[in-house]
Amino acid sequence: MSVDNSRPADHPEIAYSNARSYIIGFVSTVALLGISLLLVQTHAMSAFNLLATISVLAFLTTVAKLVFLFHLDFSETQRWNTLTLMLNVPLLILSIGLTAWMFRTLYERVMMH
């Protein structure tokens, strides 16, 4: 797919964007992050529940950003961008998963029960 560089309005990422999705994206992500901040600041739940809740909220924020701000989907123009991002998923699993595993065994040994 070729794009004429002298006509930026024809670029797919510009052609497909619109004010509505940007506003939805901005408001929803700020709201989700604001809710997480409030929950943490007020210690609204037990530690484990808090951790689980803000993890879910963080995941939702990421999805909202990818969909509404980056317009990633499986349409013809965005398929490769989406696929490239998905190549990062194994890295996320490795870094977060192995870290969680390490800390679990670490806490058994170094933290007071």
Partner 1 sequence: MTDVQGHWDWLFGRLTIQQVPYDNLVVGTAFIFAAIVGLAIVGALTYYRWWGTLYRDWLTTIDHKRIGIMYGLVGTVMLFRGFVDAIMMRTQQVMAAGPLSHGYLGAEHGYLPPYHYDQIYGSHGTIMLIFAATPILAGFMNYLVPLQIGARDMAFPYLNALAFWMTAVGAGLVMISLFIGDFSHAGWVGLAPLTELPYSPDVGVDYWTWALQIGSIGTTIGAVNIIATIVKMRAPGMTWMRLSLFTWTSLTTNVIGLTAFPVLGVAIGLLSLDRYFGTHFYTTGVGGNFMLYTDLFWIWGHPEVYFIILPSWGMMSEIIPTFSQKKLFGYPVMVAATLSIGCISWTVWLHHFFTMGAGPIVNTFYSIATMLVAIPTGVKVFDWALTMVRGRLTFPTPMLWAVSAIFMQIIGGWTGMMLAVPSINYMTHNSVFVIAHFHCVVMVTVFAAVGGATFWFPKMFGFTLHERSGQWVFWLLVGGSFFVFTAMFLLGLTGMPRRLAYVPYAGWWPLLVIEEIGIFVDIAALVAFVWQITVSIRDRNLNRATRDPWGTARSLEWITHSPVPVYNFAVIPHVNARDEWAWRREHHLEHIMPERYADIELPVNTPVPMLIGACTAAFGFAMVWRIWWLAIASLVAIFVIVILRSFTSGGHTIIRADDIRRMEDQAMRAPRRSSAGMVPGAVPAFRTGAAE
Residues 2-21 that bind partner 1 (CB under 8 A): 6
Q: What token pair was written down for 36?
A: 């997480």
* Shortest separation between residue 53's beta carbon and partner 1, angstroms: 15
Could you give the string, one character per residue 31-70, with x where binding to partner 1 holds by CB under 8 A and - elsewhere?
----------------------------------------
Name the strand (E) or helix (H) holding 45.
none
Which are the contacts of 77, defined by CB distance < 8 A and separation ≥ 6?
A: 1, 12, 13, 16
Query: Which of 91, 93, 85 is CA-nearest to residue 63?
Result: 85
8 or 16: CB nearest partner 1: 8
Residues 83-112 that bind partner 1 (CB under 8 A): 88, 91, 94-95, 98-99, 101-103, 105-106, 108-110
Which are the contacts of 68, defined by CB distance < 8 A and separation ≥ 6?
A: 21, 22, 24, 25, 28, 29
Residues that bind partner 1 (rule: CB under 8 A) add up to a total of 15
Which residues of this protein are in contact with partner 1, per CB under 8 A? 6, 88, 91, 94-95, 98-99, 101-103, 105-106, 108-110
